[in-house]
């Protein structure tokens, strides 16, 4: 009985929501003005960044990105606090089965190229698809591969803390530079350069590199903490 | 002026990123730096609050893009009032918990103080931001620091409470994102002022569904009935001072978000019956449940939910007097519930189960804490000469002015319930014999400072309510002036 009532109300809700979302009209031109044109023009003319998504994420709405970076920082911090007492020493952790020789040599071969790809993605965040979050995640997958392949592979927690903190401080310092020079937090203080150049977009590229380092360090830290949890 | 609104967010974040490094060199810095940052924020907010009485609302644009293109922060009499109150309470929570768990090794302590600082920062961000998506980001920050703080003791029960909260919070975030998406898909902007300006262009069907999603999402954090299932567990399992932080900081920020969405964005100031009905339901259900509790912190938690319901009712009345009453109630609730959580934690400190009967006879053994708890209990019931009296009086006069007689009857009769369960505890403290073989925990000096300063504020405001009515009046006027808010933000030039 209870299940039937839940099912019926969910169906009604579902039909209602489908009706709403089909009526929104995605992909059609249904509002005359809006912020989108300002973003398209500003990204190309003022900021000289060819990837509009990046210019929105890092500059127009850079404050949100600072918040999102903090969310990730908080998540890794809270997780570290919760699992604090349950941490194993290096070499004893929940993944106990040994890897085969193929996986071990393959991982060693792949690891540098994964890190390189990640670095490429965040360094070119303002020119091509991708950016700090994506690049950082790619690098973290490289560390994940090493951690699950080699039983005694370890990452220094202190070193991760350093990378994480310095990257965060760099992000905020660049923002504060804008605050002191142009009276507006995150305003661009470096020359914009030429569209499609590696050194274009002023602070945007540098901030995305900082975000990349921060995300990579945080995700690696999270993976490391969870892998070393006692059962 | 010692700074601009953006520093409320940037300085704590900078500190949060640096603290792990300084903690390696000097362990005590993980406790001290958050206190310095919170003090700086308090000085900044008080000076800005004085500054805006002369110059009017301070609007700051970020990254040099004027609204609606970029994100802006608004320090108005209304948001400034909330921000100052929350930062003040955050600082007191820091003072109270400075020595708490002194011998704990540095890593969890590091987490505790950073999470506390970011909880305050996120709440201040919710209040100051003029952008709806930015508000979402800050709600996430508050949520995640909240989950972390709830599970601080890493016990089975606290993990369960944190998981419940995490679950509710994540669903709420999803709905909030959907609501923001619907609004953006129709109006092409995320700026609250511009959304408010363009709201008539949205079709009624989408208006209703997006408003429902907004209320569903923010109602979870605002502890609105029936979305508050997580709250009692969290208040019970989190460390004592964090209960005060949830009641005084997080719930306040979420109430602000509710009001911003309903008053400014959707312009429902004329027809707020929804808020009255939800508020009354929350109030009645929470207070009757509080009556049945046998654990002190759970009782305080339900009472806190009930008070937030009363605040909703006051906002729902919708007149200037109603909003004045709501803001006064918010102020009272923050300081009084803070005091109750602070002193209540010490009354049952050594007991495992923390039953109400554990406070028996504490009046003799913890005299100062008991007196402070009693002050808090009398104040929250609304007895003169404590500050709680003026808040209750304000909402009753507001209801009387709007000719809502039934509302007055309900508020008064539920207040009797409130008096019953608070006086029951006070009775046990003073007139029951102490159980044998029970130890007491004397409050630390810094906890005493935090509690006594709250007690003094309650008494002083009780005798001289004029000290804060000026600020509340300006805040209420600022909220009512919706066209002024839109004009201020959309015509900013710098």
B39-92, pLDDT tens digit by residue?
A: 999 999 999 988 888 888 888 888 888 888 889 999 999 999 999 999 999 999
**Are A191 and A204 in contact, with CB atoms under 8 Å apart?**
no
Of the listed ranges A103-112, B106-115, B162-171, B239-248, the least confidently predicted one is B106-115
Q: Three-class SS of residue B295? A: strand
* End-to-end Cα separation, chain A, in angstroms: 39
Closest-CA residue of chain B to A60: B70
Distance from the Cα of A226 to chain B's closest Cα (Å) equals 15
pLDDT confidence of residue B40: 94
> Cβ–Cβ of B114/A77 closer than 8 Å?
yes
Distance from the Cα of B138 to chain A's closest Cα (Å) equals 7
Dihedrals phi, psi of B295, to nearest 5 degrees: -115, 140
Low-confidence ranges of chain A (pLDDT < 70): 30-32, 84-97, 229-231
Structure tokens of B87?
């930062």
Q: Which of A38, A164, A187 sits opposite B63 (nearest CB)?
A: A187
- Please name which of A177, A164, A65 lies closest in space to residue B18, comparing C-alpha atoms: A164
Burial class (CB in 10 A: 0-12, 13-18, 19+), B409: exposed
pLDDT confidence of residue B226: 77
**Are B398 and B406 in contact, with CB atoms under 8 Å apart?**
no
For A172, A180, A231, B3, B94, the CA distances from B7, given in Å and listed in that order, are: 11, 12, 43, 7, 20
Distance from the Cα of A214 to chain B's closest Cα (Å) equals 11
Structure tokens of A66?
């600072």
> Cβ–Cβ of A31/B133 closer than 8 Å?
no
Q: Could you give the ipTM of this predicted complex?
A: 0.91
CA distance B493 to B277: 42
Phi-psi sector, B295: left (phi>0), alpha (psi -120 to 50), beta = beta
Is the peptide bond prior to B68 cis by the omega test (within 30 degrees of 0)? yes
pLDDT band for B437, please (50, 70, 90 cuts). low
> Cβ–Cβ of B154/A84 closer than 8 Å?
yes
> Cβ–Cβ of B10/A175 closer than 8 Å?
yes
Q: What is the CA radius of gyration of chain A?
A: 22
For A220, B278, B336, B480, the CA distances from B78, given in Å and listed in that order, are: 42, 23, 21, 10
How many CB contacts within 8 angstroms connect chain A with chain B? 162
Structure tokens of A172?
């905020």
pTM: 0.93
pLDDT confidence of residue B87: 94
Is the peptide bond prior to B226 cis by the omega test (within 30 degrees of 0)? yes
Burial class (CB in 10 A: 0-12, 13-18, 19+), A19: exposed
Cα angle: B177, vertex B181, B185; to 5 degrees: 175
Structure tokens of B450?
């935090």
> Mean per-residue pLDDT for B143-169?
87
């Amino acid at each position: 009985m209870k299940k039937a009532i839940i099912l019926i109300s969910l169906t009604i809700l579902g039909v209602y929501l489908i009706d709403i979302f089909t009526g929104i009209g995605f992909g059609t031109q249904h509002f005359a003005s809006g912020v989108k044109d300002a973003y398209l023009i500003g990204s190309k003319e003022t900021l000289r960044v060819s990837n509009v998504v990046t210019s929105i994420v890092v500059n127009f709405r850079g404050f949100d990105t600072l918040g999102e970076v903090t969310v990730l920082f908080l998540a890794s911090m809270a997780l570290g606090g919760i699992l604090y007492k349950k941490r194993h020493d290096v070499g004893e952790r929940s993944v106990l089965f040994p890897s085969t020789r193929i996986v071990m040599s393959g991982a060693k071969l792949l690891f540098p190229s994964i890190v390189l790809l990640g670095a490429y993605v965040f360094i070119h965040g303002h020119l091509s698809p991708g950016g700090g979050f994506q690049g950082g995640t790619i690098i973290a997958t490289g560390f994940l591969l090493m951690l699950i392949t080699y039983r005694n592979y370890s990452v220094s927690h202190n070193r991760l803390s350093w990378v994480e903190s310095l990257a965060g401080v760099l992000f905020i310092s660049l923002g504060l530079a804008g605050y002191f020079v142009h009276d507006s937090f995150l305003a661009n203080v470096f020359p914009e350069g030429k569209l499609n150049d590696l050194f274009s977009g002023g602070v945007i590229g540098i901030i995305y590199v900082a975000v990349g380092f921060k995300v990579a360090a945080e995700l690696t830290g999270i993976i490391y903490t969870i892998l070393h949890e006692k059962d | 002026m010692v700074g601009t609104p953006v520093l409320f967010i940037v300085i704590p974040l900078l500190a949060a990123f640096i603290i792990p490094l300084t903690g390696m060199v000097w362990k005590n810095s993980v406790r001290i730096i958050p206190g310095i940052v919170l003090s700086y924020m308090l000085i900044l907010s008080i000076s800005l609050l004085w500054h805006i009485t002369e110059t009017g609302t301070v609007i700051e644009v970020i990254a040099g893009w004027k609204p609606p293109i970029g994100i802006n922060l608004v320090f108005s009499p209304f948001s400034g009032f909330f921000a100052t109150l929350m930062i003040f309470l955050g600082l007191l929570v820091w003072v109270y918990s400075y020595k708490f768990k002194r011998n704990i090794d540095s890593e969890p302590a590091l987490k505790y103080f950073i999470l506390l600082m970011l909880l305050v920062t996120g709440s201040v961000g919710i209040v100051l931001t003029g952008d709806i998506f930015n508000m979402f980001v800050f709600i996430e920050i508050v949520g995640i620091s909240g989950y972390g703080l709830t599970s601080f003791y890493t016990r089975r029960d606290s993990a369960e409470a944190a998981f419940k909260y995490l679950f509710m919070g994540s669903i709420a975030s999803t709905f909030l994102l959907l609501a923001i998406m619907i609004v953006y898909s129709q109006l092409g902007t995320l700026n609250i002022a511009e959304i408010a300006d363009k709201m008539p262009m949205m079709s009624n069907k989408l208006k209703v569904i997006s408003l429902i999603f907004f209320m569903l999402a923010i109602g979870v954090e605002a502890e609105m009935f029936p979305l508050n299932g997580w709250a009692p567990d969290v208040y019970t399992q989190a460390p004592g001072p964090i209960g005060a932080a949830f009641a005084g900081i997080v719930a306040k920020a979420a109430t602000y978000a509710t009001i911003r969405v309903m008053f400014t964005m959707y312009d429902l100031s004329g027809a707020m019956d929804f808020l009255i009905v939800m508020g009354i339901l929350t109030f009645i259900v929470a207070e009757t449940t509080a009556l049945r509790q046998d654990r002190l912190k759970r009782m305080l938690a339900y009472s806190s939910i009930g008070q937030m319901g009363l605040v909703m009712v006051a906002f729902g009345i919708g007149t200037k007097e109603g909003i004045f009453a709501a803001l006064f109630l918010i102020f009272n609730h923050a300081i009084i519930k803070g005091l109750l959580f602070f002193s209540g934690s010490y009354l049952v400190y050594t007991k495992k189960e923390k039953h109400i009967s554990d406070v028996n006879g504490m009046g003799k053994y913890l005299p100062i804490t008991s007196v402070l708890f009693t002050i808090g209990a009398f104040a929250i019931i609304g007895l003169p000469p404590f500050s709680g009296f003026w808040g209750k009086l304000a909402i009753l006069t507001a209801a009387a002015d709007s000719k809502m007689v039934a509302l007055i009857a309900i508020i008064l009769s539920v207040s009797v319930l409130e008096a019953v369960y608070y006086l029951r505890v006070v009775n046990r403290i003073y007139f029951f014999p102490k159980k044998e073989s029970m130890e007491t925990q004397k409050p630390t000096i810094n906890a005493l400072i935090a509690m006594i300063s709250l007690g003094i504020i309650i008494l002083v405001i009780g005798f001289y309510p004029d000290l804060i009515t000026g600020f509340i009046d300006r805040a209420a006027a600022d909220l009512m002036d919706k066209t002024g808010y839109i004009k201020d933000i959309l015509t900013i030039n710098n």
